[in-house]
Amino acid sequence: MRLVGVLGGFGPRGDRMAQQHIRYTFSVEDSEGVKAPATLYGTYDDTKTVAQLMTDLAAMKTLVVAVTDGQVVGSEASFVGSGAAAPTNFADSDVSQVASFNVPNSAGRTWNICIPAFKDAGITAGHINLADSDVSAFLVAVQPPGGDYTPTDRNWLATGALKDAFLATRKHRRALKRASFEVPTS
């Protein structure tokens, strides 16, 4: 499997290897139990293996541990694709309005897949339209068998077929809409 890293490489003939965008995220916990991310962005040589990527992630974690008084409690490497152009109905989107898809995991517990700013066209009479072509295609991708991608929960337990789905509202403190604007009198 070919992948992507923080430092770019050169091929056997000195030619530049293809580079992919990558993000290293380290979860740092302080003495009060509060966690905050330390995020590093870069590019990575896409001819590298998964094993090399994990080695590079561990090396970067060692460097982060050396410059923080907090405890690094988690680390991850993510490939970052470019975003798509905003859809025509983007102005009406709201990430606090979500669609929740519940699937059982292999331990018999329910795992929730949450999609923020769920599309209006996927809602019929106030309910998620599971027959909508886009919703249906999404559900095929996140349920077994999955092909090269095997769906799991965050504990890597395999998930099963859709149990139920519903619309909900989820609060996001950093994304509150301004309901009013007051200016103090002097």
pTM, 2 dp: 0.64
Query: Which comes out higher in pLDDT, residue 173 or 166?
Result: 166
Per-domain boundaries in the chain: 19-79, 92-174
pLDDT, residue 17, reads 64
Question: Is residue 16 scored above 60 in pLDDT?
Answer: no
61-112 pLDDT tens trace:
999 998 888 999 999 999 988 767 777 777 777 777 788 889 999 999 999 9
- Class of residue 52 by CB neighbours under 10 A (exposed 0-12, middle 13-18, buried 19+): middle
CA of residue 50 relative to chain centroid, distance: 19
Q: Are 100 and 114 in contact (CB under 8 A)?
A: yes
Q: Has residue 169 got a pLDDT over 90?
A: no
Which residues partner with 165 through β-bridges?
101
9: nearest Cα among 45, 49, 63: 45
Distance of CA 168 to the CA centre of its chain: 19
Place of tokens 């970052």: 80
In DSSP terms, 101 is beta-bridged to 113, 165
